[in-house]
Amino acid sequence: MRVGRPQGHAWHCLDSAVIAWYNAVPRTSFNTLRCREGEHPMADTSKDAVAFYWDPVCPWCWITSRWMEDVATQKAIDVDWRFFSLRKINEGRDLPERFRISHLMGLRALRVAAAVREQHGREAVRQLYAVMGTRKHHDQADIGTREELASILKTCGLPAALAAAADDASWDNVIEADMANAVAKAGKDVGVPLIVLDGGEGAGFFGPVFSPAPTGKAAVDLWDAMVTAGRTEGFYEFKRTRTTGPLFGARPAV
């Protein structure tokens, strides 16, 4: 779970590791992202827009992302799906081998997502994450292989050749720039899912985490409560121990 308090799935890292990574990121990278000409991922600052930071291998982030999609549809919220690598945030930690393998899978997938955003825009990233998450968490596919990534891209109507980005570490600069923005808004003791209000310019917070996710009116009610809490000065944390593992619900029709 959260940084410094690993529970079950050690998805995140200790405060010292986050601080070391954060301090190493050049401040100029905060807003320097490769993107399509005329489109910047941070352009929309309206109150009806949010930035949602994701890593495709995190099951809790996947559950929250499907809730976010439900809420966005009901409330006409524009969601900017930005990148947050568990591989990067956990650099220097002595994690079990299964986590290192999973986090590398996520980084390779995010490199492809970064290439997709540059060439095809933010909406293509939304669809890409939907297919990646479905393949990973419902089909138990290895979304880090070039073959699986090419299949995912084809499903999204995108060029399969973009799967080559998985082996191109230059895309890590784009991912790290997104992460730096997330940490700047939500603090250093965070992981995914992570949401920043007001088009990525407002209050940021880790979570929410739930299993299963609420739907319909209950989903909107929770969103409204989270926005109120997130914008309340002095509010920092609302937490209890999980009593169940990730419950994904029905497989999305992608």
pLDDT in tens, 55-101: 999 999 999 999 999 999 999 999 999 999 999 998 888 899 999 99
Cβ atoms within 10 Å of 125's Cβ, excluding its own: 23
Cβ–Cβ under 8 Å, residues 13 and 3? yes
Would you say residue 30 has pLDDT above 80? no
Q: How confident is the model at residue 238 (pLDDT cuts 50, 70, 90)?
A: confident
Number of domains in the chain: 1
Give the separation between CA 33 and CA 54, rounded to whole angstroms: 17
User: How high is the pLDDT of residue 214?
Assistant: 97
| Position 81 in a domain | yes
User: How high is the pLDDT of residue 23?
Assistant: 54
Cβ–Cβ under 8 Å, residues 31 and 177? yes
Would you say residue 41 has pLDDT above 90? no
Would you say residue 242 has pLDDT above 50? yes
Q: pLDDT digit string (tens) for 205-223?
A: 999 999 999 999 999 999 9
Mind giving me the DSSP string for 108-124? Answer: HHHHHHHHHHHHH-HHH
User: How high is the pLDDT of residue 25?
Assistant: 54
* Average pLDDT of span 15-34: 46
User: How high is the pLDDT of residue 206?
Assistant: 94
In this structure, what token pair is assigned to residue 110? 């995010």
| Position 9 in a domain | no
| Position 185 in a domain | yes
Give the separation between CA 151 and CA 148, rounded to whole angstroms: 5
| Position 210 in a domain | yes
| Position 1 in a domain | no
Give the residue among 33, 39, 48, 54 at the shortest CA–CA distance from 79. Answer: 48
Average pLDDT, the chain: 86
Q: pLDDT digit string (tens) for 108-139?
A: 999 999 999 999 999 999 999 999 999 999 99
The range of the structural domain enclosing residue 86 comes to 42-230
Q: pLDDT digit string (tens) for 138-189?
A: 999 999 999 999 999 999 999 999 999 999 999 999 999 999 999 999 988 8
| Position 132 in a domain | yes
pTM score: 0.82
Give the separation between CA 144 and CA 168, rounded to whole angstroms: 13
**What is the CATH classification number for the domain harbouring 81?**
3.40.30.10
Give the residue among 59, 108, 55, 62 at the shortest CA–CA distance from 85. Answer: 55
User: How high is the pLDDT of residue 134?
Assistant: 98
Q: How confident is the model at residue 47 (pLDDT cuts 50, 70, 90)?
A: very low
Q: Dump strand ranges (E) for the chain.
A: 49-54, 78-83, 194-196, 204-206
What one-character DSSP code corresponds to residue 192?
S
Give the residue among 213, 53, 248 at the shortest CA–CA distance from 134. Answer: 248
Cβ–Cβ under 8 Å, residues 200 and 45? yes
| Position 75 in a domain | yes
| Position 23 in a domain | no
Give the separation between CA 51 and CA 36, rounded to whole angstroms: 18
Count of residues for the chain? 254
